[in-house]
Structure 1
Amino acid sequence: MKNIFVSIDFKEQEQLLLDKAFELAKAFDAKIWLVHIAAPEPDFVGYGVGPQYVRAMRASELREEHHLLQKYSQKLIKKGVESEALLVQGATVEMIIKEAKKLDADLIITGHHDHNFLYKAFMESVSNGLIKKSKIPLLLVPLI
């Protein structure tokens, strides 16, 4: 195992994912790719770009998310594991699979959130989507 892809969603529980990725990367002398899939650009989902303040606010959010990813990556590097941070925009499940293939990932690590009945009835979770579509092995970390 040489490349571990870690999908970070910034829901305040990413440390569990980082710890598991670190443990595996140390054991296999692997590189960790920390990746956050941000919501797609408004044009992608059929809406106009909107006023300048909305674009500026979105750009600021993306900069903050990328900065946080880089901070996590630097902590892993200081602990002796090769790491890089990427922020990509698009549909979450599809982009995770696409980027993991592009990075030649041997394993995808992502969190699993338990959702209520209504969410399950109308939405598919990222972890379920990955289970159905990914050909790359997955490690789902339960997030409480």
Structure 2
Amino acid sequence: MKKVLITLDYNPHSEKVVNMGYELAKLMDAEICLFHVLSEVRYYGMQYEPFMGYEGYAFPVDYKIQEEFVKVAQDYLDKTKAHLQGNDISTHLAEGDTAKMILEYAEEWKADLIVMGTHSHGTLEKIFLGTVASSVMEHTKIPVYMVPTGEK
């Protein structure tokens, strides 16, 4: 295994995922890529008419908001890379459905291992929404190293 893709979200427990993924990759002398997905950024800048009495989207929109989200996300990846103090670490930022983007980039980058965290979601949330981790596990052909990040 020579390429390890470490996936990150904005959860504070991501530090645990990064550190464990980094240690594992170093043991294998593997190349590392830190990966983050912005979930459908274009929706943050859409303007809707009031609906069901809700006027949350009926305000002027700053169309540069997507650029700001991208800058913040790239800064997050850059600071994570600096935290690891590794010169041989690359970063990649994608936009879209999180599980789909992880799967697509892992294939494109030819990752040998995907490292990701599992959050402790409630049973109803898992039933109705599923989780990114379970979706990746269901559809990947690449081994996945799951880091439990729940509080239990």
TM-score by length of 2: 0.82
Query: Which segment is superposed worse, 102-111 or 113-122?
Result: 113-122
State the Cα distance separating 1:85 from its structure 2 match: 1.2
Map residues 94-133 of structure 1 onto 2, 5 A cutoff: 94-133=100-139
The structure having more radius of gyration, on CA atoms, is 2
- TM superposition shift of 1:121: 2.3
Gaps of 5+ in 1: none
Alpha-carbon distance between aligned partners in 2 of 1:48 and 1:61, rounded to the nearest angstrom: 11
Q: Tell whether 2:152 aligns with 1:138.
A: no
Gaps of 5+ in 2: 48-59
Partner amino acid, structure 2, of 1:14: S
- Aligned residues of 1:7 and 1:109 also touching (Cα < 8 A): yes
In the superposition, the TM-score normalised over structure 1's length comes to 0.86
Pick the aligned partner of 1:64 from 72, 85, 88.
Answer: 72
1:56 Cα shift?
Answer: 2.6
Which has the larger share of helix?
A: 1
Cα RMSD of the aligned pairs, angstroms, is 1.9
Question: Structure 1 60/48 Cα, relative in aligned 2: closer, same or farther at 3 Å?
Answer: closer
Distance 1:48 1:69, change over 3 A: closer
For 1:1-144, list aligned pairs within 5 A. 1-42=1-42, 49-50=46-47, 51-53=60-62, 55-76=63-84, 78=85, 80=86, 82-144=88-150
Name the CA distance, whole Å, in 2 between partners of 1:116 and 1:3. 33
1:64-94 C-alpha deviation (Å, 9 max, x unpaired): 1111101111333x3x562111110011111
Q: Quick one: which amino acid aligns to residue 126 of structure 1?
A: V
Contact persistence 1:70–1:84 (CA under 8 A):
no
Superposed displacement of residue 11, structure 1: 0.8
2-structure distance, mates of 1:107, 1:81: 20
Aligned-partner Cα distance in 1 for 2:127–2:30: 38
Q: Distance in 1 between matches of 2:42 and 2:82?
A: 31
Report how many residues are paired.
138
